[in-house]
């Protein structure tokens, strides 16, 4: 199965099992806008809780806020979004499809990497244990040539982006014969800038309405409240402010399901530090954030850092945490050292002094900022992509069957426990209900009595439920039940009183947190 097939299956699975639906589907949908279904919302809420608690519970110097989506229009002038929150757009004249010029070039660059990796893989197989990958990469003519070509294009690309040189971006596309994937032609328009902010009118009066933007990021709500939080919370530097909320971007190319949406949710934390200490904190948060991802147990090799070569003019370090999606390694989270740019801009535009008096140094300064910014939806996608498995298992009559199972980290799974009476009679449903009545205050339980036990297990596998408990006639006699573990499919007989303990241990966020501090 190709990665594309896997991705298609994942999208279909999200719909079939109530995780993600296209928005307004009965009206043929709205492009790049999605709704979360009954299981999707549980998973999403669990992701948000994992993030929120890891910020505000684990760090006594990080507090949370919740700011409005609508903000004063000048906020977006000060932040630079009115003038510079643009993507370079290019159209193909034949297919009439629209692309981001930078993404077309980035895709070309990754093809050179992929070609080099392919050569390495081939050689690895050929030479076995004696293979020296570093030496091979430095000396194999095909690898060297691919990487050299990539580097040449990359140097031109970075310079064009830094100089904001749109005609050079187009020239790179022409020179490298990048074609439209739909029409297959090089018939491109010029590259032009496109502002990604949505706007709307606030107020009823036709002439007095105020043009405002839907926030394209949650961070500005934090910056403009820096003084409020610092003073009311008597916060001492270094400290952080965390926020989870919706953001809106009129993305040019909105594809890849919930990877790039026009309405999405962010979890951002701005950490305010003393100037000069920012790189220490940048590295610290880099490490902490990677641990947070890896603690979920999806496989450490699925994550990597991608340090930025092109830094925004105000940043002095930036990296992305990428996850291996079915369509390659992609950014899930950005970590940026933003200097004092944001607070200084708001100080200038608002005319209000935004400084911090450092009692230890007896001096005032504008704090520097380290930002960690992660998309809830991208995180959701990475978890679903990492969890989706198709396994060959033995069916009832010994034949081969495929089981689709979501190997979600138990702590994030929407339903933790399914309680299944073996038969719909003899008092088994009543006992099953009693188990749920007892446990429903601790975690999300589901009752299911329809179809064979095998089918019920499959349904729970498909939504990622880590535990199924089966109630049978023996349960009525000796208070024992069968507990089935999702990933191993192993079953064990335990006393009913043990269910809570076994499950609580496996779904405990506390344990995860212990492993990341
Ligand atoms: P990209 O380069 O993919 O457009 P970005 O660098 O513009 O992303 P940031 O502005 O750093 O993204 O936003 C922080 C995080 O918000 C991203 O790492 C991502 O997880 C999430 N995010 C940004 N844009 C979108 C979107 N259109 N849909 C879903 N999530 C998004």
Question: In sequence order, what DSSP letters do the residues of 289-302 get, joined into one string?
Answer: HHHHHHTT-S-GGG
Query: Could you tell me the distance, in angstroms and rounded to a whole number, from the CA of residue 325 to the centre of ligand 1?
Result: 15
* Cα separation, 438 vs 498, whole angstroms: 12
Query: Could you tell me the distance, in angstroms and rounded to a whole number, from the CA of residue 260 to the centre of ligand 1?
Result: 7
Residue 153's pLDDT is: 95
DSSP letter for 260, please: S
Cβ–ligand 1 contact at 484 (below 6 Å): no
pLDDT class of 261 with cuts at 50, 70, 90: very high
Query: Could you tell me the distance, in angstroms and rounded to a whole number, from the CA of residue 216 to the centre of ligand 1?
Result: 10
With 90 as the cut, is the pLDDT of residue 225 above it?
Answer: yes
- Top pLDDT among 22 and 127 is at 22
In 3D space, the residue among 488, 308, 311 whose CA is nearest the CA of residue 393 turns out to be 488
Pocket mutation for ligand 1, best pick of 33, 88, 292, 331 (most atoms within 8 Å of C-beta): 331
Residue 114's pLDDT is: 86
* Cα separation, 358 vs 275, whole angstroms: 11
* Cα separation, 219 vs 247, whole angstroms: 10
For residue 373, give the ligand 1 atom closest to its CA. 14
- Sign (positive/negative) of CA torsion 233, 238, 244, 250? positive
Q: For 86-95, 96-105, 247-256, 480-489, which range has the lowest pLDDT when averaged over its residues?
A: 247-256
Angle at which helices 509-516 and 38-56 pack, to 10 degrees? Answer: 40
Residue 235's pLDDT is: 96
CA distances from 311 to 150, 159, 161, 317, 337 (A): 19, 11, 10, 7, 10
The closest residue, in CA terms, to atom 26 on ligand 1 is: 260
pLDDT class of 370 with cuts at 50, 70, 90: very high
Cβ–ligand 1 contact at 326 (below 6 Å): no
Query: Two tokens at 44?
Result: 């999403």
What's the pLDDT tens digit per position in 382-428?
999 999 999 998 877 778 889 999 999 999 999 999 999 999 999 99
Query: Could you tell me the distance, in angstroms and rounded to a whole number, from the CA of residue 112 to the centre of ligand 1?
Result: 24
Query: Two tokens at 152?
Result: 């040449």
Query: Two tokens at 45?
Result: 């809420």
Strands 417-421 and 445-447: parallel
CA 313 to chain CA centroid, Å, is 26
What's the pLDDT tens digit per position in 441-470?
999 999 999 999 999 999 999 999 999 999
Cβ–ligand 1 contact at 264 (below 6 Å): yes
Cβ contact 496:475 at 8 Å: yes
pLDDT class of 206 with cuts at 50, 70, 90: low
Percent of residues, the chain, with pLDDT higher than 70: 99
Cβ–ligand 1 contact at 247 (below 6 Å): no
Cβ–ligand 1 contact at 44 (below 6 Å): no
pLDDT class of 130 with cuts at 50, 70, 90: confident
Pocket mutation for ligand 1, best pick of 36, 246, 264, 380 (most atoms within 8 Å of C-beta): 264
Torsion of the alpha carbons at 53, 213, 345 and 103, rounded to the nearest 10: 80
The mean predicted confidence, pLDDT, of the chain is 94
Cβ–ligand 1 contact at 379 (below 6 Å): no
Helix (H) or strand (E) holding 394: strand 388-394
Q: Work out the widest C-alpha separation in the chain, in whole angstroms.
A: 80
Query: Two tokens at 303?
Result: 């994550």
- Top pLDDT among 105 and 254 is at 105
* Cα separation, 459 vs 404, whole angstroms: 9
Tell me which residue has tokens 């009693």: 434
Cβ contact 426:490 at 8 Å: no
* Cα separation, 389 vs 1, whole angstroms: 12
Cβ–ligand 1 contact at 261 (below 6 Å): yes
CA distances from 123 to 109, 119, 338 (A): 22, 6, 42
pLDDT class of 119 with cuts at 50, 70, 90: confident
- Top pLDDT among 508 and 127 is at 508
With 80 as the cut, is the pLDDT of residue 204 above it?
Answer: no
pTM, full prediction: 0.88
Cβ–ligand 1 contact at 266 (below 6 Å): yes
What ranges make up the beta strands (E) of 224-316? Answer: 239-248, 263-273, 303-307
pLDDT class of 133 with cuts at 50, 70, 90: confident
- Top pLDDT among 134 and 261 is at 261
In 3D space, the residue among 450, 493, 491 whose CA is nearest the CA of residue 474 turns out to be 493
Cβ contact 388:372 at 8 Å: no
Cβ–ligand 1 contact at 334 (below 6 Å): yes
- Top pLDDT among 311 and 343 is at 343
Residue 12's pLDDT is: 97
Cβ–ligand 1 contact at 331 (below 6 Å): yes
Cβ–ligand 1 contact at 377 (below 6 Å): yes
What average pLDDT does range 324-341 have in this prediction?
96
Helix (H) or strand (E) holding 430: helix 428-439
The closest residue, in CA terms, to atom 12 on ligand 1 is: 334
- Top pLDDT among 207 and 386 is at 386
* Cα separation, 273 vs 154, whole angstroms: 33
Query: Could you tell me the distance, in angstroms and rounded to a whole number, from the CA of residue 395 to the centre of ligand 1?
Result: 43
Q: Which residues pair with 210 in a beta bridge?
A: 202
Q: Which residues pair with 303 in a beta bridge?
A: 323
- Sign (positive/negative) of CA torsion 49, 55, 57, 63? negative
Cβ–ligand 1 contact at 321 (below 6 Å): no
The closest residue, in CA terms, to atom 9 on ligand 1 is: 334
Cβ–ligand 1 contact at 358 (below 6 Å): no
In 3D space, the residue among 247, 270, 252, 283 whose CA is nearest the CA of residue 376 turns out to be 247
For residue 249, give the ligand 1 atom closest to its CA. 27
Query: Could you tell me the distance, in angstroms and rounded to a whole number, from the CA of residue 294 to the centre of ligand 1?
Result: 20
With 90 as the cut, is the pLDDT of residue 210 above it?
Answer: no
What is residue 145's three-state secondary structure? helix
In 3D space, the residue among 184, 213, 185, 207 whose CA is nearest the CA of residue 81 turns out to be 213
Query: Could you tell me the distance, in angstroms and rounded to a whole number, from the CA of residue 375 to the centre of ligand 1?
Result: 6
What's the pLDDT tens digit per position in 9-58?
999 999 999 999 999 999 999 999 999 999 999 999 999 999 999 999 99
Q: Where does residue 152 rank: exposed (0-12), middle (13-18), buried (19+ CB within 10 A)? A: exposed
């Amino acid at each position: 199965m190709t990665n594309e097939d896997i991705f298609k299956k994942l999208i279909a699975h999200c719909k079939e099992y109530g995780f993600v639906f296209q928005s307004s589907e009965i009206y043929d949908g709205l492009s790049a806008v999605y709704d979360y279904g009954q299981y999707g919302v549980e998973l999403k809420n669990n992701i948000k809780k994992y993030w929120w608690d890891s910020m505000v519970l684990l760090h006594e110097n990080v507090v949370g806020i919740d700011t409005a989506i609508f903000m004063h229009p000048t906020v977006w002038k000060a932040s630079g979004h009115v003038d510079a929150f643009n993507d370079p757009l290019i159209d193909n004249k034949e297919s009439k499809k629209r692309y981001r010029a930078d993404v077309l070039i980035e895709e070309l660059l990754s093809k050179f990497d992929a070609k080099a990796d392919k050569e390495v893989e081939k050689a690895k197989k050929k030479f076995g244990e004696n293979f020296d990958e570093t030496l091979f990469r430095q000396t194999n003519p095909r690898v060297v040539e691919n990487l050299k070509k990539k580097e040449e294009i990359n140097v031109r690309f970075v310079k064009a982006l830094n100089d904001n040189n749109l005609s050079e971006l187009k020239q790179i596309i022409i020179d490298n014969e990048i074609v439209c994937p739909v029409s297959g032609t090089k018939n491109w328009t010029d590259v032009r800038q496109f502002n990604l902010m949505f706007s709307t009118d606030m107020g009823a009066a036709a002439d007095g309405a105020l043009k405002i933007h839907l926030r394209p990021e949650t961070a500005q709500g934090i910056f403009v409240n820096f003084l409020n939080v610092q003073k009311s919370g008597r916060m001492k530097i270094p400290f952080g402010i965390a926020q989870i909320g919706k953001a809106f971007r009129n993305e040019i190319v909105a594809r890849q399901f919930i990877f790039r949406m026009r309405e999405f949710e962010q979890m951002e934390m701005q950490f305010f530090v003393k100037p000069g200490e920012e790189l220490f904190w940048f590295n610290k948060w880099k490490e902490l954030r990677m641990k947070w991802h890896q603690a979920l147990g999806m496989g450490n090799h699925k994550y990597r850092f991608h340090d930025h070569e092109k830094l925004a003019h105000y940043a002095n370090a930036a990296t992305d945490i990428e996850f291996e999606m079915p369509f390659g390694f992609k950014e899930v989270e950005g970590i940026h050292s933003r200097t004092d740019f944001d607070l200084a801009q708001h100080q200038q535009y608002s005319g209000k002094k935004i400084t911090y008096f450092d009692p230890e140094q007896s001096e005032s300064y504008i704090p520097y900022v380290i930002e960690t910014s992660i998309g809830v939806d991208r995180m959701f996608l990475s978890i679903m992509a990492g969890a989706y498995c198709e396994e060959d298992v033995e069916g009832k009559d010994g034949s081969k069957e495929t089981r689709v199972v979501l190997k979600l980290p138990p702590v994030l799974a929407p339903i933790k426990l399914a309680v299944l009476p073996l038969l719909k009679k003899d008092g088994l449903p009543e006992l099953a209900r009693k188990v749920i009545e007892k446990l429903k205050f601790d975690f999300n339980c589901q009752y299911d009595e329809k179809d064979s036990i095998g089918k019920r297990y499959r349904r729970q596998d498909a939504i990622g439920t880590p535990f199924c408990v089966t109630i049978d006639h023996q349960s009525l006699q000796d208070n024992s039940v069968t507990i089935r573990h999702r990933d191993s499919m192993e079953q064990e007989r335990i006393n009913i009183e043990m269910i809570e303990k076994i499950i609580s241990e496996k779904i405990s966020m506390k344990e995860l947190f212990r492993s990341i501090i």
